Structure 1
Amino acid sequence: MRVKERTHKYIMLFVGAVVSLLWIYPFYLVLVNSLKTKSGIFESTLGLPSVPTLENYPIAFEEMDFILTFFNSIVITGGSIFIIVIFTSMAGYALSRKPGKASTFIYLLFAICMLIPFQSIMIPLISIFGAVDLLNRTGLAIMYLGLGSSLAVFLYVGAMKGIPKALDEAAIIDGCNRFQVYWYIMLPMLKSTTVTVIVLNAIWFWNDYLLPSLVINKEGMYTIPLRTFYFFGEYSTQWHLALAALVIAMIPIIILYMFLQRYIIDGISEGAVK
């Protein structure tokens, strides 16, 4: 029996190592080739640089106009996440505390919307927002709210079902209204779920290229993914600068994930199990 368990353990370790290498391999290519010259990339794409260089980074930083594009990405990502957290947590509170056919229908509607691919609604969405002159940052944030609400509501409803209703009743007896119960009691208790919603959406919004390219593809409003495309020309690609730009773009979201990763598993478990 012990031999069988040990064999199973080694197999799982091997599979885990292979999967880890497959995940790490693209990051290795980006990082290693960002330290090479343009000719060095074509001479040896997979190998380590013979003479590492950091010259690509300041050039990419300048040509991206990184300060402005970073600010645009922060405003769009931060603003979109803020309204998603507020609106979906309130919706989750209402749906979890008001059981009934209507609440069940709305909850299932949110869950079903997770199955709808963005490409199927892309053209009508852009047409509608263009007709009301909302192809700007505000319109983009509203689109992100609609597209990101399904998973967030699903997680919040599941997490709130695990919080006893007696807390609500005790707070109401002490003089709180419904909004105060939500704001001062429920929302602080859902920190893990909120962090999970923040991280999952931050990764999506920060790296999104398709939707911003349709909505805010204007000079002075570029996000980091849009500006990174500057290095991919019609007739030539500045791979050394593009890869350096990708590394610069990844750093902020990696730092965010490192600080908040310990909450993610707890948040997903609260929202999906309880």
Structure 2
Amino acid sequence: MLGPLDLIVPPVVLLTAVATLPFTLISHLVTGNISDLTSWPKLRHAWFKHFWWWFGPGSKPLFAASVRPLLAQASGTVLDIGPASGIWMPEFGEAVKNNPGKIKKIYGIEPNTLFHPQLLSQAKANGLEGIYEPVAAYAQDLEGKGIEKGSVDTVITVHVLCSVGDHAETIVKELYEYLKPGGQWLVFEHVASRNAPIKVFQNINNTVWPILLDGCALDHNTESTIRNAGQWDTVAIGPDPKDGYFETLPHTVGRLVK
């Protein structure tokens, strides 16, 4: 919470994304992997990989105080939706180490396969071999990957539902179906500002934000979307208490139980 200085965060992130594009282009030219430069979806995935390679770990300390207690509640069979490079893998490793058997399996649902080598490397480094499995799929395609509806104990979404475009309602309802009765959904997502002047500023930045950040958007009402996904027994989500008035990336955080 930086006060008015929070307003500089979106422009800084956007400039950072722009600065990583030349590195993406050069690395692909050097390695001869030209095919990724001939398709906008492929280029966008490759560009985001290079951006997130350092920005993800660099931004982690800003959110760790909110995310770590959340991830510590994970149990059973877990769907880790959109883990990218796996910056939260140490938290999963710590949970497994401190409470063996609490987490039986973690499926990292990551459609951008460029991140899969990093996920496997992170899993090995954090003692999660045989537990953490990257799955190349979108959330709406899990049945074709051998994951049955009603079989999941924990769904985790951390900074991912901002990137699903206009499909948020459909995807969230689909994920709800994978939870067992009594299963939990752990949420930490940045959302549209609740303050009208800041929301206008968000909307200005959002004209280019999805283009530069692989489809991520600033204006989603993710909290209400998840609340309306299905019948919940317990709903304990709301604004992150660490957010201030000028926060341009405000969050909703918490836990829902089916």
Which TM-score tier does this pair reach, normalised by the shorter chain?
under 0.3
| TM-score (normalizing by structure 2) | 0.28
Select the structure with the greater relative contact order (CA < 8 A; seq sep ≥ 6): 1
| TM-score (normalizing by structure 1) | 0.27
Q: Which has the larger radius of gyration?
A: 1
Larger proportion of helix: 1
